[in-house]
Structure 1
Amino acid sequence: MPKNTRKCKKKVKTRQTVTSALSALSVERLKVAEDDRSWDEKADDDEFDDEYKEGVNDEHGGAGRRRGKRKYSTKETDSDITEGIDLPLDIWFLISEHIRPEDVGRFGAICYATFYVISTGRFWNTLYKRHHRLISQLPEELTIWNMERLRGLKANVIRALFYMYPPFHARIAGEKPLTADPTRLLRTQCVLQWHSKMGSIYRYYFKFSKQMQNKKRLTSAREGLPALMTKDSLIHVNDNEGCYIMEAVASCICAVPMVMGEYLHHAGLGVSADLRSHRLHLSLAPAHLLPSTASAKSRKYQVPYKEVMLEPVRDVRVYPWWHPQYWKCGR
């Protein structure tokens, strides 16, 4: 009898060890499964556990607790709010002396203080002197002894950087023929047109302006700025802001109607019918006959468009006001 009791005890112990091992293995599997689940599934289980614990406490006489999901307050506490550091204006001026020309816009968008820094003549004078180089192609009005005047200082410095700053100059030199996009000038007004002849080459020029659009945008953007930044300054004066010149080089003379005062509705640069040359097609109309939006349906059968057809063309370029070639077209 004692021997049998020992065997029974051994069997009971082995069964206990097996069951404990199985339970430990199941717990590990559950942990792995929980880790594999997404965060939102885990959050649901946490809420269920909270409800279960609250229900158990209520059954056992827990006072002051209600059943249901916990309500998390969305109010920010004092510990959650982190206040920024208001740097002195002199620190921003020192930092601005190390800003690259292509990062001026990003620097000015940091805060009101940086926007004020790039709106001063000190900033643009420093930027010009930092990148100044003696270049024979630099126009007379952009030389260092003619940069002391405040009127139009910002525009003059930007123009000069496309002569002196190597990344900007490389961007201009890397332009390839017949790669310009004339559709960027849609809904702009043609304020001037002319042509010139050099040998057997004819050059046609169209000057487009979107100054009214820029003025409306700047006016709406300055409404929420402090009074110190909304004051008119001579350094921001730019009579050519929002202006572009389209140059089309043709190998023969083309009949071009008078389109000054009209607005560009359609512009296309493609291949001619014989597939041997390129063709530039422009359609212009008065402002009151244009569609309300650029994506609106065309009313070509109702609007008396003026068509400009240049064929064959060797090259088509679009020069913004800061482009060096922009100022050479009229000379």
Structure 2
Amino acid sequence: MTYLSKTITDEPDWYDKDLSDFDDLQSSDEDAIVEKQLIHSKQKTSIIENNYHGKDYPFDLWYLIAMYIAPEDIGRFALICHKTNQIVNSVSFWISLFRKYNKIEAKRLTRLLVREHLSIVRTYVIKSLYQTYPLFQERFDKTNVIQKEPHFLLSSRCIRIWYSKRPTQRDLYNYYFEFRFDNIQQSKQQDIQIQAISSIFQANNQSIIDKDSYVLHLISSNFVLIGPYMGMVLSQITLNVSSDYRYHKLKMWFDSSRSCSQKSKYNNSVVIIDPILCLRIYKWDGFGAVALVHDNTQLPNIEAAGIELASGRRQKIAYRKKTTYLLSSPYTTCTKSVSPTMQAMFEYYNNTNYGYSEALCYQLCGQIYAYEQCGCVNPILWNGRKFYVSSMNRVIFAPLCEYDNKCYKEAIGKLLTSSPLMNSYCSECLQECVIKNFIIQTSSLSLPGEWEMEKIKKFVENSTIPKPTNWSRTWQDEIRKNYLTINVVRETSTVENSTQSTTMGVVDLFSNVGGQTGLWIGISLLSIMELIEMLYRLIRNEFHIIRRKIQANRQ
């Protein structure tokens, strides 16, 4: 048996070395592998031992390196060593990442996030990265190409067909097929999760799409002329792989009867769409209301602060008011003034007397930058399409971009991640001096009861409310879908006011300055008088000593 000897030498710390004192890691790894053999009587084994132990860099150095790590490389960075893993599992790391890629939200939420647990902060920052970081946005757009297989639509009746061209660089086409089951209960028995229809799709088609309908949305790179199959039944449907094995191919047979035969009676009643780049199914069954409690001087932000209330229940909304007052300049940078850009938008609301809003200011500066880059604005913020452009010196009523247009998304993402652009376009977006919040608590009960159904039925039948054709058979379901009661109550009459005050006023400042000045002047005067007295005593003492010497010499 051979033994491996180790030599221990004193090695200086990393911060005491020069660049020439560091070894090459690759050459060190090659020289550090030593192979030794253990010879026994029955078997032979070989052990490879590595004498290279690596460099132990301090925690602060790893933390500085972590500031330059891209979001997609965080996992690999955490696996380097124990210290990097500890940095990634810290709140400060995720807060710095949030400030780097989402500057607008970081200004408002950093003070709140630092108090939260690591899991909450990490989850919120990762969600925000999927909205602002371009690489994560691209990953999110590529997911769920085939959302759900459409075989459950068999025996449903095609109500409407339409298509449109997508505003993209390559030629892509949208195909929409609206299906409805003749027996409504049959569609309810399908226990599937179907993606909710988008807000833009609702805004453009909510007046024509029937309730309890399914919309099959297809995206293809080829244009296919579709025949008039409205009113026919979907008898067969197949979803296979295309011939190039890259995409999917959808094939649908339509028939005039409900029999699901293998082949349609009409050979021409077949729709083939190939390739399928995206397949989604929307369920048009969202019923309810959106409520929002806000101050009369606040612009209603229904998209962000609205409360969704389901039908078939009695909803109760209890609120209490909280107001925060901040000091104006020079103590803080808050403002109350409404900019010309915001005032132009308020004119779109018939000159309603709304006040300044920081969130609205950031939305408008994003719309202005998107308009200058793309010639249109974000369609989700459709109410912010009228604004004042300082570079043109006029008010613009901008057109809305198509929802699938990536230009406005890329423009807004570029604005949010660029400090010079934020300072140029959003310099007027300061904090509000008066912040009014309504703390909401919601509760609900299941309504209406069985004893109320007949009364509601008589009320509907005697009113001008439009009723479905099968009202006599489905009136109970229709009432439960459309019945909704909302009670808005004030939880307390007490308004919680938080006022920011100065720790030192003008009077306190002069009083403190005067007191400090008088104290130091008094101390200085006393010191001068004591110094004069000391000099006088020293001179007098020397005079007496000289006088005694003179008298002694005369004697």
Instruction: Please give the TM-score of this superposition, normalised by the length of structure 1.
Output: 0.34
Q: Larger % of strand: which?
A: 2
